[in-house]
Structure 1
Amino acid sequence: MQSFVLLTWLTLCAAQDARQRHIANGLTLGAGVLALAWLLWSGTTWLGATAEQGGWAALLALAFTLPGYAKGRLGAADVKLMTALGLATDGRHVLGVFIGAALASVCWLLLAPSVWLHIGQGFRSHVRYLEPGMSKKQPFAPFLLVGLLLTFAWLG
């Protein structure tokens, strides 16, 4: 059930990022506050890791995302999203999501020019910011969603 909630939340974030290249603070900060409240109340993360593991995972998420934010490659919402994910999971999940997102991003950069034309126009209009060549700074949340799916498959 907890995995389904995380997938639903990240799907909402990914959809909004792909459509608007923006993720509302209610989705990122709201989830972060809820994850922190759960962590402090129960002593575990949403997925059952210890509070210490959740804290380290949040710091790991910040270590991965703040350099990209400082260089202008990631947005503030990406930093908040990954930090919230760290508070809700553990370091293995954060590492897996980040690696999976990086792999998905590279695959998309390589495959998108040939695949994009074969995607239905209606769907393309909903995810227009994923269009190849649209921008040097593509939305990252859709790739984080792929990373989370890969991580769940890998970790079971």
Structure 2
Amino acid sequence: MPYLWLLWLLLVTVHDARQRRVPNWLVLGGAALAGGALAMNAQPFGVHWPDALTGAALGFGFLLVFHVAGLMGAGDVKFAGALGLWVGAAPLLPIWIGASLLAGLHAVLLVVLRRLPWFPRLTLMLSGRPRATDDPGLRQQTRPIPFAAYLAVVAAVWMAWGRQS
């Protein structure tokens, strides 16, 4: 089951980094895998139903505030809820902090690169603006930071190193 979880995180990371969105099928697929793992007592992190549901509610509810304020996309919020279903409530705070630090670094780097246009391709990649080959109807928003991707990366790091005692 941890390999399916890591595959799901990889898919979310790639999709969000490339398109700046996390599609519903990917979020629902991850939530269904989490529910299946819980139902079969095959949950890789020792999380049980009450903690998983609390994690899902906290993950969704906390980031929903940022979405309502226009600071975050809905896919990021839904992904955080599905992630909370996997990891439970306790790991969410360190995962959020790590992802926020990465997103902050992304924002600072983007500001610097926009002021010093030495690397235009890197600036374009970090900004999330559509390339000539992208579908113009796909990108309605201008959110340059793929927060779900950073949540996924930090969650994978948490699994690999943070859980070892």
Question: TM-score range, shorter-chain basis?
Answer: 0.7 to 0.9
Q: Whose helix proportion is higher, 1 or 2?
A: 1
Distance 1:79 1:46, change over 3 A: farther
Q: TM-score, normalised by structure 2?
A: 0.73
Aligned equivalents of 1:88, 1:46: Cα separation in 2: 9
1:100 equivalent in alignment to 2:105 = no
Bigger Rg over Cα: 2
The answer to whether the 8 A contact 1:100-1:150 is kept is no
**Partner-residue secondary structure (3-state), 1:98:** helix
Structure 1 range deviating more: 24-33 or 141-150: 141-150
The answer to whether the 8 A contact 2:20-2:143 is kept is no
> Which 5+ residue runs of structure 1 have no aligned equivalent?
none
Aligned equivalents of 1:117, 1:149: Cα separation in 2: 32
Q: TM-score, normalised by structure 1?
A: 0.77
1:58 equivalent in alignment to 2:56 = yes
Q: CA deviation at 1:102?
A: 0.6
Aligned equivalents of 1:34, 1:13: Cα separation in 2: 14
State the number of aligned residues. Answer: 149
1:154 equivalent in alignment to 2:162 = yes
The answer to whether the 8 A contact 1:73-1:137 is kept is no
Q: CA deviation at 1:117?
A: 5.4
Aligned equivalents of 1:136, 1:27: Cα separation in 2: 19
Aligned equivalents of 1:44, 1:87: Cα separation in 2: 14
1:24 equivalent in alignment to 2:32 = no
- Taking every aligned residue pair, what percent have the same amino acid on both sides? 30
What corresponds to 2:127 in structure 1? 131
Aligned equivalents of 1:72, 1:103: Cα separation in 2: 19
Letter in 2 for 1:8: L
Q: CA deviation at 1:101?
A: 0.6
